[in-house]
Amino acid sequence: MARTFTEGSKAVAETVKLCRPNVIAAYPITPQTHISEELAQMVANGELKAEYVTVESEFAAASVVLGASATGARSYTATSSQGLLLMTEVLFNISGMRLPVVMTCANRAISSPINIWNDQQDSISVRDAGWVQLYAEDIQEASDLHLQAFRIAEHPEVLLPVMVCMDGFILTHAYEPVDLIEQKEADAFLPPYQPQYYLTPKNPITFGAMMGPESYMEARCQLDRALCGSTRIVEEVAKEFKKRFGRFQGALVDTYCIEGAEIVLVAMGSVISTIKEAIDLLRKEGVKVGLLKVRCFRPFPREAIKEALVGAREVLAIDRAFSPGSGGVLATEIRASLQDVKKAPEIKGHIAGLGGREISVETIINIVKDRKSVGIEDRFVDLKEALLK
């Protein structure tokens, strides 16, 4: 294990390299670019033996990794924002064909208006694509998640694609000390991908057959069962990672100061670090506040969330994306998860940090302090009302 002070994108690229992907296809888009550039350089230097396919669009990137994965190759792509939306059609196909592709989504806002800065509207918008979605809190976790992602994806009981979501710029372009794993250790954790079914004349199987009303629903149900079942594998892999490398930042969820907390903040991604700071300050003031970090958003870990929130009086969800006309997506799902809980906590949703708007420690403290004076409707935090008059 070597500790280096490095950029988030570089740390991720280094870890992807450790995973020994056979085929990489990516198309440049801010803020994903540094990851795909780093990998291209590694291939150019001969440090990474992989086919790097310089595609003409994200749609093609997703299609290339689909074809490569179906041929038995460990395949990786990375994108952001519009790129992820352009891939959408293929994303559903990759999961439908049960191909264990791994992708990094450098989370970024969606146009229009065009905005290159961070929020999570991109990955949240494709939540129904049938991928496992994991959200990183910091650079170390973003980096570690990639090794775990391939293990989860390729697990014979899962065989589904995994999207590692890391906040654009905040994590992709920031520098932090990161512990990088040695290749030998990585190889022991992640053995080569050995698919049972792949495109080969030795067993000339047909992929992507058409299904009618007599079987389509069963195929979709099978996908759902595999995705729901992957919670166990996500946990198992996180535990094994901890055992081997000593690091654990949660499996499906993680908690902070949740013992005896009356108020629990719930969030995903880099805002978790900010919330932890805010909690430390609030706790000093005697506010009984804790945190539930949702690390795995798909499959949605209903039971783990229920368990963590059951003693709380108030839940304050923070969403970095929303469903226009409905509200915060995390807030909505948490409400649904707790609907059968007796004396369920009051849940308030907060939409914050869209398009790169800063979520500061103060923002979080205000969310906690203002909670009694706001209604139960999900609200946009730190709005500049003057711009809306």
Partner 1 sequence: MEKHLFLAGHTACYGCGEALGARLVVDAAGPNIITTDATGCLEVFSSRWPQSAWAVPFIHSLFENSAAVASGVEAALKALGRQGEAKVIAQGGDGGTADIGLQCLSGMFERGHDILYVCYDNEAYMNTGVQRSGLTPYDSDTRTSPFGKVSWGNRYLKKDMPAIAAAHGVPYIATASVAYPKDVQAKVKKALSITGPKYIQVHVPCPLGWKSDPALTIKVAKLAVETGLYPIFEMENGVVTKVRKIPRPAKPVGEYLKLQGRFAHLFKKGGGEGEVKKIQQIADENIKKYGLLSEAAEKVAVEAEKE
Partner 2 sequence: MKVILGGLAQPATSLANNTGTWRNYIPVFLQKTCTGCTMCAIVCPEGCVYSVEKRKFTFDAKYCKGCGMCAAECPVDDIEMVMEEK
Q: Is 159 in the site for partner 2 (CB under 8 A)?
A: yes
Give the Cα-Cα-Cα angle 328, 101, 241 (nearest 5 degrees).
Answer: 80
- Closest CB 215 distance from partner 2, rounded Å: 6
Q: Which of 44, 188, 211, 383 binds partner 2 (CB under 8 A)?
A: 211
Neighbouring C-beta atoms of residue 235, cutoff 10 Å: 17
Task: List, in order, residues 6 or more apart from 251 with CB less than 8 Å away.
Answer: 234, 235, 238, 239, 295, 296
- Would you list the DSSP string of 329-349? HHHHHHHHHTTT-TTPPEEEE
- Closest CB 348 distance from partner 1, rounded Å: 41
Q: Is 89 in the site for partner 2 (CB under 8 A)?
A: no
Measured between alpha carbons, how far is 210 from 7 in angstroms, rounded to an integer? Answer: 45
Task: List, in order, residues 6 or more apart from 209 with CB less than 8 Å away.
Answer: none
- Closest CB 77 distance from partner 2, rounded Å: 20
132 binds, among partner 1, partner 2, none (CB under 5 to 8 A by kind): none
Measured between alpha carbons, how far is 89 from 210 in angstroms, rounded to an integer? Answer: 16
- End-to-end, the C-alpha distance of the chain in Å comes to 55
- Structure tokens given for 163: 């999207």
Q: Is 186 in the site for partner 2 (CB under 8 A)?
A: no
Measured between alpha carbons, how far is 367 from 236 in angstroms, rounded to an integer? Answer: 35
- Closest CB 94 distance from partner 1, rounded Å: 9
Q: Is 98 in the site for partner 2 (CB under 8 A)?
A: yes
Number of residues binding to partner 2, judged by CB under 8 A:
18
- Closest CB 218 distance from partner 2, rounded Å: 5
Q: For residues 92 and 248, which CB has a smaller minimum distance to partner 2 in the complex?
A: 92
With contact defined as beta carbons under 8 Å apart, do 2 and 178 qualify?
Answer: no
Q: For residues 183 and 200, which CB has a smaller minimum distance to partner 1 in the complex?
A: 200
- Structure tokens given for 266: 């719930």
Residues making up the chain, counted from first to last? 389
Q: For residues 159 and 237, which CB has a smaller minimum distance to partner 2 in the complex?
A: 159
Please give the residue ranges that form the binding site for partner 1 (CB under 8 A): 22-23, 25, 49-51, 53-57, 59-60, 63-73, 75, 89-90, 93, 97, 199-212, 215
**Binding track, positions 46-85, relative to partner 2; x by CB under 8 A:** ----------------------------------------
Range in contact with partner 2 (rule: CB under 8 A) among 8-16, 144-152, 164-172, 207-215: 207-215
Q: For residues 57 and 111, which CB has a smaller minimum distance to partner 1 in the complex?
A: 57
Q: Is 204 in the site for partner 2 (CB under 8 A)?
A: yes
Give the Cα-Cα-Cα angle 377, 81, 238 (nearest 5 degrees).
Answer: 80
Q: For residues 49 and 313, which CB has a smaller minimum distance to partner 1 in the complex?
A: 49
- Token look-up 């013992």 returns 259
With contact defined as beta carbons under 8 Å apart, do 162 and 226 qualify?
Answer: no
Range in contact with partner 2 (rule: CB under 8 A) among 203-211, 273-281, 302-310, 351-359: 203-211
**Binding track, positions 214-243, relative to partner 2; x by CB under 8 A:** -x--xx--xx--------------------
**Residue 384 has what DSSP assignment?**
-
Q: Is 213 in the site for partner 2 (CB under 8 A)?
A: no
User: What 3-state DSSP class applies to 24?
Assistant: strand
Q: How many CA atoms lie within 13 A of 92 on its CB side?
A: 9
110 binds, among partner 2, partner 1, none (CB under 5 to 8 A by kind): none
Binding site for partner 2 (CB under 8 A): 96-98, 159, 197, 203-209, 211, 215, 218-219, 222-223
